[in-house]
Amino acid sequence: MLKNKYIVKSLTPWMIDELIAFSTFVKYDLILLREPDEFYKEGLQQLEKNGINIYTTPFLYNYLLKKFVVILIFFFSNILKFDFSYNTAVGIKSLGWFLKLDMNLFSKDTHMHAQFATQPALISLLIKRFYANKPLFSFTFHAHDIYFNNKWFKLLVDNCYKSFSISDYNIDYVQKKYIYSDKIVLARLGVFRDHIKTENKKKESQIFNLGVMSWFVKKKGIIYLLRAFKKLKEKGFENIKLSLAGDGPLKEKLLKFIKEKNLTSMITYIGKINGRAKEKFYASLDGFVLPSISLKNDQDGIPVVLMEAIAYSLPIISTDVSGIPEICIDKYNGFLIPERDYQKVYESILKLYNNKADRQKYSKNSRSLSDKYDIILNSKKKLIDLQWV
């Protein structure tokens, strides 16, 4: 059993990248509160190859009396946070997972890192309470976990060792809304850049290829991109093509729109991709578009797909939402446009299409900007801040 623990509720592709990057510098135990999807099998095998111990749903009803005491004290100390909003769901689920968690995996010397300022971070705090506040814990916050009016956030920061933000925007946001603290530090995500080849990546073509890869939910704003393509078709720009990669709850709705608007000759759905297929996807593109929008209690942080796109030297089109202006700089490496405006998406696509010189400039600038989003360099810095290395 190792001292360092990385606690996760549900895996994501960017999380796998950070886990693998961490494993090149340090050994740790990975605690998975949910069964991982088959999609992550290859990444998890790589982690095991790198010497990482993986505990999937490590549940055991042990030390029940002591756990109940911790839960009761925690509940009554924070009873106002159980307000019948989403905060209640976060709190109750955290208590439930803590109750059945195998405490033999932890000790007073444990140093935990949790992803998201929700259940994983609260469980880490409960473990800290269980061991008389001896263990250290930190957490990374991203997007939804701070935008839903998270009543647990200040408590987590007050009791953590470090709290990591993925963007400058998020730091400013939480310090104004929740708490100002020098425990809150910047730790950008990133991508593995060493293997990416951008020179002579494809031949000249009459086809102008754009792409988007995403989890298909409302905040990604993909419908605005599809509406822009509808207008492109109406104006006769059928040599502009879109590769649509990903999956999610809105998939069928988006595919129905494509079919009903007769856009199948311009838009190709390629599904959820990983590994070599993802590399080929980016290498085939002339530009990348992600028209994210802000919702009442949710919005993007800095989407990792934008980090990937600029690493492949792609000009990007995205929206002025959350931390996106930190990676999409208007007329530097693409176009930063207002959200929910398909007309601006349409106009920006045509600007890229019609101006090869600008595309080349934006491409070069994207690659330069991607230096800030190197997963190896950023992970090493984060591990130093964590004192894991």
CATH superfamily for 4-190+374-386 is Glycogen Phosphorylase B; (3.40.50.2000)
Q: What is the largest CA-CA distance in the chain?
A: 71
User: What burial letters (b/e) apply to 7-32, b meaning 16+ CB within 10 Å?
Assistant: bbbbbebbbbbbbbbbbeebebbbbb
**pLDDT at residue 206 in the model:** 85
Q: Residue 303: its pLDDT value, please?
A: 95
Rounded Cα distance between 287 and 323, Å, is 20
What is residue 199's predicted lDDT score, i.e. its pLDDT? 58
pTM as predicted: 0.92
Give the pLDDT score at 195.
78
In whole angstroms, what is the distance from residue 292 CA to residue 304 CA? 13
Q: Where are the domains of the chain?
A: 4-190+374-386, 208-372
What's the pLDDT at 204?
Answer: 62
b/e string for 327-341 if b means 16 or more Cβ within 10 A? bbbeeebbbbbebbb
Q: Do domains 4-190+374-386 and 208-372 have the same CATH topology?
A: yes
How high is the mean pLDDT in each 10-residue block of the chain (389 residues)? 93 96 98 96 96 97 98 97 95 98 97 98 98 97 94 98 96 97 97 77 76 97 98 97 97 98 98 93 97 92 96 98 97 98 98 96 97 97 96
Distance separating alpha carbons of residues 389 and 377, to the nearest angstrom? 14
Q: Check residue 155 and give its pLDDT.
A: 98
163 vs 5, 154, 243, 274, 373, CA distance in Å? Answer: 15, 11, 37, 30, 19
Which pLDDT belongs to residue 183?
Answer: 97
pLDDT at 297: 86
pLDDT of residue 55: 98
| pLDDT for the residue numbered 191 | 95
- Tally Cβ neighbours within 10 Å of residue 357: 7
Classify domain 208-372 at the CATH superfamily level: Glycogen Phosphorylase B; (3.40.50.2000)
What are the C-alpha distances in Å from 241 to residues 56, 60, 101, 208, 226?
41, 52, 49, 6, 11
Environment class of 318 (CB within 10 Å of its CB; exposed 0-12, middle 13-18, buried 19+) = buried
